[in-house]
Every structure is written in structure tokens, then in C-alpha cells.
Structure 1
Amino acid sequence: MSDAPSRRDLLARLSAAGFASLTLPADAFAQSVELPATPACEGHSTATPRQTEGPFFTPSSPQRADLRADGEGALLVLSGFVLTRQCRPIPGALLDFWHADAGGQYDNRGFRFRGHLFADQQGRYQFITRAPGLYTGRTRHLHVKVRAGTQSPALTTQLYFPDEPGNRRDGLFDQKLLMSLRPGEGGQLGRFDFVLAA
């Protein structure tokens, strides 16, 4: 018998913790949404560093938080908060993600491994995808744009995987942009909180 919580137990705990607005696919990692009702605020006074969007950004991605059907690879469930520098959650913040497929290729004609979502009323988000592959000259990474509102400038940055051999050789790599990862069934559970300057 497994020690993992049942879906019913998980939903009861999420509802009690104020996560009623998050809907999990039946086979998503149960652990992925165990964020606190409010963020821990230690160390959140510094804005998330900006990085180049690179040559592969495509505007007007579809609104979808689950990209698993786009290809092969280990699952990655990334959760976190979007916050101000005063550690206040930013409800409804827009997060636009894109990354390479398992073979290191970007889809520049369509929207494979591209999508956007909105943070909930507590500033929380959850993004489900497949781990990207490598392409020449770069370590594995995710691209993201985060915007607090229609008038505010977007934070454009990249997120990195810890313990990647390519991190040391990648000229864009920034340790402040490392996701916190732990193993889960069939992949990894990630955490990253975005802190917007404005």
C-alpha cells in the first residue's frame, strides 16, 4: 500500500489550505501544489534578475498551464508565487513560458512547449511540462515573461536546473535563477518565486 495521499485526501487538504482555485489533472504530482497559503518572505526584497528572451519568443501563446501533451521527456511541475519586493502576492499576474523540446529544438512555427497562465488570487501559479533538452551552447533552461498588469513592463528571464554540468559553461547562467527541485513520480517537482521590481 502506498504512503502517497489519495486524490480525495489531497483535494480536502487543498480546500482547507485555500487551494480550491487550483485544479489538478488526475495524474499530476500530488506534492506539487503543497504551497503554503501565503509565501515565506525571507530573502524576497531583491527583484528576480532579468535575462534576454533569446531569439525564439513567439507572442500570443495559448492560455494553458499543462504542456505535457506537446512531446516526450520527464515531467516537470513548477509551482510558486509572483510577489512584489514588499512580499505582497500579485493576483492575476501573467506568466508566459516557452522552452526547447527533449531534443533541444524550439517550435518556431507553432506553440509546442509554449503557453501562458495567470496566478491565482494569492499570487500562486502552477506550470506542468516536460523537461527541456540541450541545444548547442546552452545549459537546460526555461524562458518566462511575467507581467503584473497590462500597463506594467514584463520581467523577462530564464530559469535553470541545479546540478547541470552545462551551468558552469553557460555565459548566461545565473545562480539566482536556479529552480528548487525534488524528485517526484516520473519527473521533478520545482519551486520558484518571481519577485517583480514594480
Structure 2
Amino acid sequence: MPADEQETGTGHEPGTGGQDDGISRKNFIVAAGAAGIGALALPTAVSAVAAPAQARTGQRPLTPTPKCDDGDDTPTHSQMEGPYFKPGSPERASIVTPGMPGTPLTVSGIVYSMSCTPLAHALLDFWQADYYGNYDNYGYKLRGHQYTDAAGRFTLTTIVPGLYPGRTRHIHVKAQAPYQGILTTQLYFPNEPRNSSDMLYDPALLMKVQTGPSGRTAKFDFVLQVP
């Protein structure tokens, strides 16, 4: 576990207290109309006929559908704003400053509508605690906003936030599609000891996190409650 994960900060936030970026495949059946194959045919026999049939017709495998929300579930869960939000953050994709302590972290993903359409120019405003668990309430350290690109993608360069009493590790964010309402929520890290005791923790808001030689990468896709 990186050193910063052991750090317990000195600040605190009143404790009033999924989505991953994976791909869900739409299964499909290739019907093989061979006279010798009946209801009791073995699965291996079906596969043997299906593949040549697919080759003859030039049919290609179906494109995987992005795992967002097809309108039959719920959008990304909302959570409390907390006491440390500050409007007017600078527009920037990197919210770290030179020499800032902490494990480097890159968070990326896509912002979708309820119909699985990527949302271009959606606003994402991030803020978080520093390595020591403190928020910058005077300036804009570890604060910043950005807009998704034409494909709904975003990338945030930051550090793994520190711990402070009453909370597990988390990153705050406000997300807003153009001319739509604002989603306020928080993103969480897997396998954190404090996840089980944090009253605000929501497993649906877990990022998919990997550790590499130069830090950590995290994936999370937002689904906003717009058509």
C-alpha cells in the first residue's frame, strides 16, 4: 500500500452522511438451418455450423454496447456536496501543482445520457483533500473544472486524496450536461478499510482503480438524468 494511503489527515468534514467503465456484451444467437440439426443437437455442433454460415454471409460480430444506462435503471447516484465546495474553480484538466506530495492519480471516463449517448461539452467540477487530508478553502489547490470532448470523454490529473476523521478516501464532483440540472456526487476507491464505516460510502460510486509504476489510474463513467 502506498505511503499516502496510511496517512490520516488533520482536517475534517462533517459526516452527515457503478458504475464501471466495463463493456456489457449483447449476446446473440446465430440460427443454423441445417436439416440434420434438431432440437437435441449438441452445442458444439451448432457452433460448427454457425461459424461457416457467418463467414458465408459476411456477417460480423455485433459491436459491444457501452455499459451505461439504457433507460431501465437509474443514473449515477447523487451525494451530499459537503462543506468545502467553492464556485469559480479554474478550468483545467490537471489540478496538481509542482512538488505536491501524494501518489499520482489519473481519473478518466465518459459522460452518458440515460439513452447511452455520450454527452459533449458536459461540465465536470472536481475538488478533493490533499495528501494530508486538508482542503484548500482559501485558494483553488486540488480544485478545477473541465468539459468533456465531442465523444463525452474526460481525463483528470490529480493525486490520491488523504484521509481525515470520519471519512474514507473520496473525490467530490459536480456534473452537468449543457442546459441541464447538476449532479453532485462523490467517487470512491475500492478496498479501502474505511469504506465499511463511512456513512456516505456508496459501492455504486466505486471507481475501477489500477496501480502502476508511475501511480494509479481510475475509470468511472457518469450517467446523467437527461434523455
Partner residue, 1:147: 176
SS of equivalent residue, structure 2 residue 66: coil
5+ long unaligned stretches in structure 2:
1-21, 24-62
Report the alpha carbon displacement of residue 39 of structure 1 after superposing the two structures with TM. 8.8
Moved over 3 A (4+): none
1:174 aligned residue (202, 206, 211): 202
Q: Distance in 2 between matches of 1:40 and 1:176?
A: 20
Equivalent residue for 2:211, pick from 183, 194, 197: 183
**Deviations, residues 147-194 of structure 1 (Å, cap 9, x unaligned):** 101x31110000000000000000000000000011123211100000
Q: Bigger relative contact order, structure 1 or 2, given CA contacts below 8 A and separation 6+?
A: 2
Of 185, 189, 207, 1:161 maps to 189
Q: Give the secondary structure class of the aligned counterpart of 2:93.
A: coil
- Alignment pair present for 1:75 and 2:104: yes
| Structure 1: runs of 5+ lacking an equivalent | 1-34
CA distance in 2, matches of 1:59, 1:53: 12
CA contact (8 A) 2:68 2:114 kept: no
Residue equivalent to 1:20: none
Partner Cα separation in structure 2 for residue 76 and residue 163 of structure 1: 16
- Alpha-carbon distance in 1 for matches of 2:164, 2:187: 15
Looking at structure 2, the residues matched to 162 and 124 of structure 1 have their Cα atoms a distance apart, in angstroms, of: 22
Amino acid at match of 1:93: A
- Give the Cα–Cα distance (whole angstroms) in 2 for the partners of residues 39 and 97 of structure 1: 30
Query: In structure 2, what is the equivalent of residue 44 of structure 1?
Result: 69
Q: Give the aligned partner of residue 148 of structure 2.
A: 119
Asked if 1 retains the 8 angstrom alpha-carbon contact of 2:130 and 2:161, the reply is yes
Larger radius of gyration: 2
1:96 to 121, 125, 132: 125
Residue by residue, what CA displacement relative to the aligned partner does 1:86-134 show, whole Å, maximum 9, x if unpaired? 1100001010000000000000010000000110000000000011000
Kindly tell me the number of residue pairs found equivalent between the two proteins: 162
What TM-score, normalized by structure 1, do the two folds share? 0.78
How high is the sequence identity, in percent, across the aligned residues? 48
Tell me if the contact between 1:39 and 1:81 (Cα under 8 Å) persists in the aligned partners. Answer: no
Is 2:68–2:221's contact at 8 Å kept on the other side of the alignment?
no
Q: Which moved more, 1:60-69 or 1:110-119?
A: 60-69
